[in-house]
Structure 1
Amino acid sequence: MGTLRLTIPSPSPALTFVRNRQRKFLYAGLSSILLLVLWGTLLIVFDAPYGGLGQGIGSDGVSLEAVRNQTLGFEKIFCINLPSRTDKRDAIVLGSSITQFHVDWIDGVSSEDMSPKAYPPHLDDADRPRMLPGEIGSWRAHVNALQRIVSERISTALILEDDVDWDVTLKTQLHDFAQGALALQPNQPHASPYGPSWDLLWLGHCGMKCERNSPFYIIKNDPTSVPAYALPQYWAGPAIHPLVDNIKHNRLICKSTLAVCSTAYAVTLPAAQKILAAVSVAPTEESMPAGESIVYDVMLGRLCETGYLRCISTYPSVMGNWKGAGLPSKGSDIQYRYDGPREERVFEGASFWGVVYSVMDNLGGLVSGERVVRASVRDVMLPVLDLGRVKGNRGKLHVLDYEEMVLSGV
C-alpha cells in the first residue's frame, strides 16, 4: 500500500517577510505595554513631580520615598478651615493639587457656636491670661482634629491651618527632613518614613528651640532655607545659638523642646491620645500650669518642653504662611483687625512669608505648566529654580560645645 505524503509548500519570500514583520510589531507592542505598566507603577508609588532623589530604605524596608506619596508619608493630611472661608479652601485645594498631595478637611469653629461649658478647661481661673474668641475657636478646631485621629485610629496625620504656605519643592524638603529625623532616632524597625521614636513633627512654626547638649542635624547649601532677614516674627529661640542659626543656606533638624504657632504639625495616634487628654479631657499642671496661657499652640509647645511629647522640628520652619489680596482683615480668622472707615480702607496685595519658593506666590505660572519658579525673598542661593533640576541634600549630625563655642561633627 502506498504511503500518502503531504507536502506543505514553502512560504513565499514575500509572505515570510510579512510574518516576520508582524512578529516584530507584536513584540514591540508587548514591550511598550510592559514599560507603560512599569512606569505607571513607579509614578503611583513614588509620585515625585518636583525633584527626584535616589531611593532610601529604612532599617525595616520602609522607603523614604513614601514622603512623596499623596499624603506626604502620613496616613492622612487634615486642614482646618472655617466653612465660611471658601477662598482659603480654594487656594489650599489648588496648591495641594499642583504639588500632588491630598487634603481632608476639619471644619473650623467659631467660639460663638460653642457652649461656654465646652470652653477650654481652667479658662476661667482667676490668674489665667484671657483668650480671644478666635483662640477659643482655634483650640476647639485643633481638638476636633485630634478627636478624629483618635476616633478613626489614624496611625499618623499632618494637621495644617488654612493660611499655610509651602515650598514648591516640599516633597524633596520632606525627604531631606526625614533623613535628619531618622539620624536623631534609634535605629529600630519603623512603619513611618520619619522614624520610630517621635510623637510630634513640628513642620510649620514661628519659633523653636532645640534640645540643649544633644546632637542636631545640619543640611548645608539648602536653597530652600529662608534667610534670617526674611523670617517672620519668631517668638521663641534661638534654635541652637544665633551664630549657628544664622549661617546662610543651612537648615537645622533637631529634637525640639519648644515651638510656637501651630501652622503645620504631624502627630502619631498615641501622641494624639496624649494631647487630647492633656488639653481637654484630663488636663494636668504640666499642660495647664497656674497663671500660664492655655492658647493651643502654647500648650503644645509646653508639652514638648516638659518631655511629655517627643518632638522633632526644623529651623527655619519648612512651612510658612500667606494672605490673599484684599483688606487687612482678610488675613487672620483668630485676631480681629479693623479695616477703618469705608472711605479710608486700603486694599493690600497678597503676601507670603516663611518659604523661599512659595506655592501660593507661584500659582499663576504653575497652573500654566511653567517648570521654573521664582523665589519670594531676596538673598537666596537660586533666585530662579528649574524644577527639573531640583536635588535633595544629605546632612550630618553635629554638636555644639557651648562653653568653647566649637561646632563639630559627630
Structure 2
Amino acid sequence: MTVLDIHESRLSSEAVLAFLRTRHRQFLYAGLTSAVLTVLWCTLLFLPETRYGAQLSNDLSLKAIGNETLGFEKVFCINLPSRTDKRDAMVLGSSVTQFRVDWIDGVSSDDMSPKAYPPRFDEEGRPRMLDGEIGSWRAHINAIQKIISDRTSSALILEDDVDWDVTLKNQLHEFALGARAVQSSSDISNSLKPTLQDSPYGEEWDILWLGHCGMKCQPNDPFYIINKDPTSIPGYSRPQYFVGPAIHELVDSIKHNRLICSSGMAVCSNAYAVSFHAAQKILAAVSVSPSDESMPAGESVIFDVMLGRLCSTRYLRCISSYPSIMGNWKGAGLKSKGSDIQYNYDGPKDNKVYEDAKFQGVVYSTMRNLGALLGGQRRVKSGVRDVMKPEINLDRLKVGRGGLHTIDYQEMVLSRL
C-alpha cells in the first residue's frame, strides 16, 4: 500500500466517523424536539378552561369586528326597491362608518299569493295583520332563506330605516365581550355543542338582537353590565319600548349603564344577527312546519313577535343589549315617508304635514352626523340631552369594560360575579 493509499484510507475513515457523529446528533436533536413537542402538546391539551375569561384565539378574533361586515360573514339590508331614498341613505351611512351591506328586496303583500301568507295568520281569534306586516314577514323570511341557501355562517340583518352610533364598531367590541361572558355563564349553552367557529361574539348563540324597541332578559340568568357607557341613551330620551323592564326598573334606570344578557321576549326587528343553524330553526318554526310554540292560538304571527317568542321559550339562544344598540331614523318630508309597514296620514290635500328628519334610539347618530363625517371632522355631537359627553373625539375612543352580575329579586341586591 502506498503512502497515498494510506492517506486516502485515513481520510475515508475520518469522513465515516464524521458522518456517524452528525447522524447521531441529528437523531438526538430529533428525539429532544419530539419530547419537547409532546410535553407542549400535553400542556396545551390539559390546560384548565376559564369560565369567564376569553381564550387567546377569541381575543384575536375580536379584530374581525373592524372588517367590512362587522365580524359577521354578511350584512344584509331589507329595502323595498321603490324606496331608493332609503337605499341612498343606507349606502352613504354605512360607507362613512366603514361597513358594507348587501340587499334583500322588500316585499309587498300585493305581489304575494295568499297561499304564501304566514301560516295560521287567518285563524279565528288571531290578531289581524296589516298588509305591510305580511310583506315584512316575507322579506325577513327571504333573508333567512338566503342565509341557508348560500350556507352563510352568520349574517346581520338590518331594516332600511335603521340608525346606528358613529362609534358602532367600538360598541360591538364591547358587546362581544359581554356576549361571550354571558355564554360562558350559561349552564344551558354549555350543555349544547357550539354552532359557530371563530366568531368574535362567541360560539354558542343563535340570535344577537342589536336593534329592538323593548326586551326582557331571561330571569335568573347572569347578565353583563358595562358601566359609564357614553353611548347608553338615557331613559327619557329613548323611543317607546313596548317590552320591559329588561332586569328590573331600578337596574334598568341606572344612568350610563348598558346591560347585555340572554334575552327572552323582544320586539321590533330593526337589527339582528342570525347564525346558519338558527336560520334553519327559524325557517322551520315560522314557515315550513310551524308549531304551537311559535304560533300559539290567539297570538300574533308578526315576524318580530314570533322571533321574540322563540327567544323567550329558549328555542333560540338569544343575546341582546339594553338599551338597544341600534335605533331608527326618518328623512325630512311627509309623515308617510317613514315606515312602509304602518299607514301614516299626511294631512288634508291642501295642508299636508311636513316634518323634520327624526333620529331615535342612539346617542351619536350616524344619519344626524353625516355632514360632519363627510367634511372630515373627527368630532361628532350627541342628538340627545343629559349624556356623559355631548361631543366626542373619534380619535380618542376607548373600549369599555364590564362584568357579570346577578340580582336577588327578593332582597333587591345586585352582586358582581
Task: Give the TM interval when normalised to the shorter protein.
Answer: 0.7 to 0.9
Deviations 1:323-379 (CA, angstroms, capped at 9, x unpaired): 000001111100011112222112100000100000000001111111110001000
Kindly report which structure 2 residues correspond to 1:258-273, keeping only aligned pairs within 5 A, or say none. 258-273=265-280
Give the match's secondary structure for 1:314: strand
Q: Which residue identity does 1:303 align to in structure 2?
A: L
Kindly report which structure 2 residues correspond to 1:24-173, keeping only aligned pairs within 5 A, or say none. 58-59=56-57, 62-173=60-171
Flag structure 2 segments of 5+ consecutive residues without an equivalent: 1-53, 185-189
**In structure 1, what is the Cα distance between the partners aligned to 2:247 and 2:58?**
32
Give the match's secondary structure for 1:376: coil
Residues 1:205 and 2:205 are matched in the alignment: no
Residues 1:241 and 2:248 are matched in the alignment: yes
**In structure 2, what is the Cα distance between the partners aligned to 1:83 and 1:99?**
23
Give the match's secondary structure for 2:354: coil
CA contact (8 A) 1:206 1:234 kept: yes
CA contact (8 A) 2:213 2:239 kept: yes
Q: Which residue identity does 2:84 align to in structure 1?
A: T
Q: 1:119 to 1:303 in 2, by over 3 A?
A: same
Corresponding position of 1:176: 174
Corresponding position of 2:389: 382
TM normalised by structure 2 equals 0.84
CA contact (8 A) 1:58 1:193 kept: no
Corresponding position of 1:360: 367
Q: 1:103 to 1:273 in 2, by over 3 A?
A: same
- Number of corresponding residues: 355
Report the identity percentage.
Answer: 70
Residues 1:297 and 2:304 are matched in the alignment: yes
CA contact (8 A) 2:261 2:319 kept: yes
Query: 1:57 offset after TM fit, Å?
Result: 6.2
Q: Which residue identity does 1:374 align to in structure 2?
A: K
Corresponding position of 1:192: 199
**In structure 2, what is the Cα distance between the partners aligned to 1:61 and 1:318?**
22
Query: 1:62 offset after TM fit, Å?
Result: 4.6
CA contact (8 A) 1:58 1:64 kept: no
Give the match's secondary structure for 1:63: helix
Q: Which residue identity does 2:172 align to in structure 1?
A: L
**In structure 2, what is the Cα distance between the partners aligned to 1:208 and 1:113?**
32
**In structure 1, what is the Cα distance between the partners aligned to 2:183 and 2:353?**
50
**In structure 1, what is the Cα distance between the partners aligned to 2:147 and 2:370?**
31
Q: Which residue identity does 1:248 align to in structure 2?
A: K
Q: 1:353 to 1:359 in 2, by over 3 A?
A: same
**In structure 2, what is the Cα distance between the partners aligned to 1:58 and 1:239?**
31
**In structure 1, what is the Cα distance between the partners aligned to 2:259 and 2:348?**
45
CA contact (8 A) 1:218 1:398 kept: yes
Residues 1:392 and 2:399 are matched in the alignment: yes
Residues 1:276 and 2:276 are matched in the alignment: no
Give the match's secondary structure for 1:80: strand
Corresponding position of 2:19: none
Which structure features the higher share of helix residues?
2
Q: Which residue identity does 2:117 align to in structure 1?
A: Y
Query: 1:288 offset after TM fit, Å?
Result: 0.5
**In structure 2, what is the Cα distance between the partners aligned to 1:62 and 1:152?**
27
Flag structure 1 segments of 5+ consecutive residues without an equivalent: 1-55
Q: 1:60 to 1:204 in 2, by over 3 A?
A: closer
Larger Rg: 2
Deviations 1:367-409 (CA, angstroms, capped at 9, x unpaired): 1111110001000000011111111101001111100000010
CA contact (8 A) 1:62 1:192 kept: no
**In structure 2, what is the Cα distance between the partners aligned to 1:141 and 1:185?**
30
TM normalised by structure 1 equals 0.85
**In structure 2, what is the Cα distance between the partners aligned to 1:62 and 1:224?**
25
